[in-house]
Structure formats: structure tokens, C-alpha cells
């Protein structure tokens, strides 16, 4: 019997196929999702369904669609899509949706990211727990996917051209200086969306020379995992940027909702710097607006937001928290340390492509290399996220807190301690694994390394 508590996470469904979940589970989740929609008066009579390039995606999506139809709603099948394409469809058509993807996880994984109409997020506190419980009850009662091939979807739509045209309206790239751009799609959905968004012959030509890496859609990830958060997966992009003399490199994760940036030297540009850069651009168009950032982004982010006349608001890590806070404050933009970027003009949803386009525009509107441009937004030294396996996470966090009585404490998301010299660290437990995640920032490399090593020693002792 499937235990859905093992695969229904804080923000989505995620697990290995077929041992943790399969088409029978997908059918139950589709039915439960629709029941929750119907019970909450969700508008529309259809559900949007899309999948990434993983081999298990079409079968799982078809089973989910069968569950949707069993509960009285029709299905609009989008086929292959990036996650932000699904959000575009949900926002522009004002319909709920389900995206089958496991994002950056290895090939044996798959998952579902679900949203209400208008790309509104579904997380544990906004419907996902109820979906889990309803699906579990259906499975426990013996519910299963219909035998044989499921009925054809009510409708099939290709929204890639519309998605590309919409993004082009939000960021003008037509008048920037010529740029050579290396893009590493990691055999993920960036290889599907980038050619259309940045190079579609049906749209006005852009002054961009795209050098593609791993654009072939392949859910086995034969070259490297589609997880740019791991430095090992940026090596090919870094090398290619230098070899081709490119001005910038872009790396997308598997479902292309996150984008990482590399400068002309092959050096990574931190997501905090990209958050600050995009915030400055959005605030120039919408002075005085609110910008959301999570508490692990650099201290430079709220500083730069204020310097550009904006109001910084901190939120917990995780897209459902960021999206909820953006909706509450009507924020113009939001950024996370994990390279998720959210836009009010994109229904408060995250889109790596739009963040990439803003970065290209900022670079192409002036003559400096990206390393110089980015240095304006990089003010401190950060450790990056460091994981430690810890059985009793709460006890260890309490022990670390007691070791620094002089620090100012914040427990919005884990434990954040701030010191008088501007250094800080955040220690928080993973939602799904016996891990503590540490992020450290300080004014100098020496201070960051000393604080990092000191805290790690306490955590791992």
C-alpha cells in the first residue's frame, strides 16, 4: 500500500518511480486534486496538465488526467512544457494546473507541482495536505487507474509561442548590444523553451548568439544532473563560456524554472546578486514597490532594495511562502538564494527565463563586462549552503543558539544569528531529510571562514 506521506512534500509531490509512486497513485492524486478544486469553488471546468522530458511523465500525466475526468472536469493537455510555461498557462487562461516534473532530482524521480487558477500555489497549508489525505483514502479503498489506455484528453494546446511572446513583452531585448550567450540546458526543458523565447524566427530577431549545451531532451541526464545549485554541474558551462569568449553563461535546472548565471570569466554570479539586479530594474519601473527576499539572501539585497526606493520584506524559504507573501504585499518581485525568481507581472509565479532575460537586458544596456556589473551587487562573502547529517536537529540548533548569547536571534525559518560586525548565519532543518543546512555571510572572507568552521564544528561534533 502506497504511503503518500513519503512523497507529498511541503510544496509538491516528489518520489521515485515506480517504487514510491506509479500511475495508480497519480490517478488517485488527480481525483483528489479535482475534489479539492470542486469543493473550494475553483473557477473553470478544465485542468491544465503538462510534463517535462522524463520518460515516466506521459504515463503519470495520463493517469492523473483520468482521475481529473472521473471527478467531472475536462483536461487541457499541454504536452511538453517547462514549469513556468504551466504557470503561464494557468495565469493567462485562469485555470488550475498540474506540472509533472521532479525539477533537478535524478532520473528515477518524478513529481507534481500543482496550482490553482491564476498560478496560485498549492502547498501543505493551502490544499496539498487535503489532497494527500483524500488520495490516500482512495488508495486504501482500492481505487486504481482504469485498465487499458485512458481516454483521449478533451483538448490539446501548444502554448510555447504565446509564452515566448508574453515574456518578450515584459523585457525588451531588441535594442541591447550584441551578446554571445552560452546556455546549458542540462538535457532539461531549457532546451525546449530557449530556442523559441530567444531565437524564434516568428518573433523579432534579437542581437543574441546562443551557444547551446545539452539542448537534447533526455530525462536520463547523460551529461550531468540538471541541478546548477551543485557547482560540479556548472563546470561544462564555465569552460564553454571562456572557450567561446562569451559575455555570459546561463544554466537551467531540469524543469527550467530556475536559472543560474556565470560571468565572462566563467565565475558564478550569486543568486543574491541577480535578485538585487532584477529588483533594481523592477523598482525603476515601479518606484516604491515591495520586493520579497528570503532570509538566506545576502544582506546586500535589502540594502540595495532600499537604495532604489523599494520596501524589502523577508519571507521563509520556499515558493509557497514567497508567493503568499508577494500576494499579501502586492510585491513587484521576489528572489531566493536557490535561484527562484518571482514576478508580479507573471502572476507572482517563479520563472527562470524571465530572470535570465532581465540579466541579459541589464548586461546589454551598458558596456561593462558582467563581472564588473555584478560586483555592484556583491558586497559580502557567503559560504553557500552546507549540509550536515544530524539526528536530533532541534537539540543541535538549541546547542548552537546557546553558544552565541551575544548574537541577535531570529527564528522565522530555522535559527538566524546576527552579529554586531555584520556577520550572520542561518541554521535550519531540512523538511524531508535528517539534515541541518548552514548558510554563513560576513564582510570578509576571513570572518566568513572562521564563523563557518566554528559553527560546523559545533554542528558535527
Specify the pTM. Answer: 0.94
The residue-averaged pLDDT of 55-69 equals 97
Give catalytic status of residue 338 as yes or no.
no
**417 alpha carbon, distance to own chain's centre:** 26
Q: Which of 90, 103, 270, 338 is an active site residue?
A: 103
Instruction: Identify the pLDDT of residue 123.
Output: 87
Tell the CATH topology of 161-267: Alpha-D-Glucose-1,6-Bisphosphate; Chain A, domain 3 (3.40.120)
- For residues 102 and 97, what is the distance between their CA atoms, to the nearest angstrom? 16
271-351+360-376 has the same fold as 4-157: yes
Burial 417-455 (b: 16+ CB within 10 A, else e): bbeeeebbbbbbbeeeeeebbbbbbbeeeebbeebbeeb
CATH class of 271-351+360-376: alpha beta
The residue-averaged pLDDT of 383-401 equals 94
The CATH number for 381-460, chosen from 3.30.300.20, 3.30.930.10, 3.30.310.50, 3.30.470.10, is: 3.30.310.50
The residue-averaged pLDDT of 100-121 equals 95
Look up the CATH number of domain 4-157. Answer: 3.40.120.10
Rounded to whole angstroms, what are the CA distances from 127 to 10, 124, 325, 345, 360? 11, 6, 17, 24, 37
78: left (phi over 0), alpha (psi -120 to 50) or beta: alpha
Instruction: Identify the pLDDT of residue 204.
Output: 85
Q: Which tens digit of pLDDT belongs to each residue from 227-238?
A: 998 999 999 999
Q: Which tens digit of pLDDT belongs to each residue from 285-318?
A: 999 999 999 989 999 999 999 999 999 999 988 8
Which grid cell is 318? 520556499
For the chain, give every domain's residue range: 4-157, 161-267, 271-351+360-376, 381-460
pLDDT at residue 190 greater than cutoff 50? yes
Amino acid at each position: 500500500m502506497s504511503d503518500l506521506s513519503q512523497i507529498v512534500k511541503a510544496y509538491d509531490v516528489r518520489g521515485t518511480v515506480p517504487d514510491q509512486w506509479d500511475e495508480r497513485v497519480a490517478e488517485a492524486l488527480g481525483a483528489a486534486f479535482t475534489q479539492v478544486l470542486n469543493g473550494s469553488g475553483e473557477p473553470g471546468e478544465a485542468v491544465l496538465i503538462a510534463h517535462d522530458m522524463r520518460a515516466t511523465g506521459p504515463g503519470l500525466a495520463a493517469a492523473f488526467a483520468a482521475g481529473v475526468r472521473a471527478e467531472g472536469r475536462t483536461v487541457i493537455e499541454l504536452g511538453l512544457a517547462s514549469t513556468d510555461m504551466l504557470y503561464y498557462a494557468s495565469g493567462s487562461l485562469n485555470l488550475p494546473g498540474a506540472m509533472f516534473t521532479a525539477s533537478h532530482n535524478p532520473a528515477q524521480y518524478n513529481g507534481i507541482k500543482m496550482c490553482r487558477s491564476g498560478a496560485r500555489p498549492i502547498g501543505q497549508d493551502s490544499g496539498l495536505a487535503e489532497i494527500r489525505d483524500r488520495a490516500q483514502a482512495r488508495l486504501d479503498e482500492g481505487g486504481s487507474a482504469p485498465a487499458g489506455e485512458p481516454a483521449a484528453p478533451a483538448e490539446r494546446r501548444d502554448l510555447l509561442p504565446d509564452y515566448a511572446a508574453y515574456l518578450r513583452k515584459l523585457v525588451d531585448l531588441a535594442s541591447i548590444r550584441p551578446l554571445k550567450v552560452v546556455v546549458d540546458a542540462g538535457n532539461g526543458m531549457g532546451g525546449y523553451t530557449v530556442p523559441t523565447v530567444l531565437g524564434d524566427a516568428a518573433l523579432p530577431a534579437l542581437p543574441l548568439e546562443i551557444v547551446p549545451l545539452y539542448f537534447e531532451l533526455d530525462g536520463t541526464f547523460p551529461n550531468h544532473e540538471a541541478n546548477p545549485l551543485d557547482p560540479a554541474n556548472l563546470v561544462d558551462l564555465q569552460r564553454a563560456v571562456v572557450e567561446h569568449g562569451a559575455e555570459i553563461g546561463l544554466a537551467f535546472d531540469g524543469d527550467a524554472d530556475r536559472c543560474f548565471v556565470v560571468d565572462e570569466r566563467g565565475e558564478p554570479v550569486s543568486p543574491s546578486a541577480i535578485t538585487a539586479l532584477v529588483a533594481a530594474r523592477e523598482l525603476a519601473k515601479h518606484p516604491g514597490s515591495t520586493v520579497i527576499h528570503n532570509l538566506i539572501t545576502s544582506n546586500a539585497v535589502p540594502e540595495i532594495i532600499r537604495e532604489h526606493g523599494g520596501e524589502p520584506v523577508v519571507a521563509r524559504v520556499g515558493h509557497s511562502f514567497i508567493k503568499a507573501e508577494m500576494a499579501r504585499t502586492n510585491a513587484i518581485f521576489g528572489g531566493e538564494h536557490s535561484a527562484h525568481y518571482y514576478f508580479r507581472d507573471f502572476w507572482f509565479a517563479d520563472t527562470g527565463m524571465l530572470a535570465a532575460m532581465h540579466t541579459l537586458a541589464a548586461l546589454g544596456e551598458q558596456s561593462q563586462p558582467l563581472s564588473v556589473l555584478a560586483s555592484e551587487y556583491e558586497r559580502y562573502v557567503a559560504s553557500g549552503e552546507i549540509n550536515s547529517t544530524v539526528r536530533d536537529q532541534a537539540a543541535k540548533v538549541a546547542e548552537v543558539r546557546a553558544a552565541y548569547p551575544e548574537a541577535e536571534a531570529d527564528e522565522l525559518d530555522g535559527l538566524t544569528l546576527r552579529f554586531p560586525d555584520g556577520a550572520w548565519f542561518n541554521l535550519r532543518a531540512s523538511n524531508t531529510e535528517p539534515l541541518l543546512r548552514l548558510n554563513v555571510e560576513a564582510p570578509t572572507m576571513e570572518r566568513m571562514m572562521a564563523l563557518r568552521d566554528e559553527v560546523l564544528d559545533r554542528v558535527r561534533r
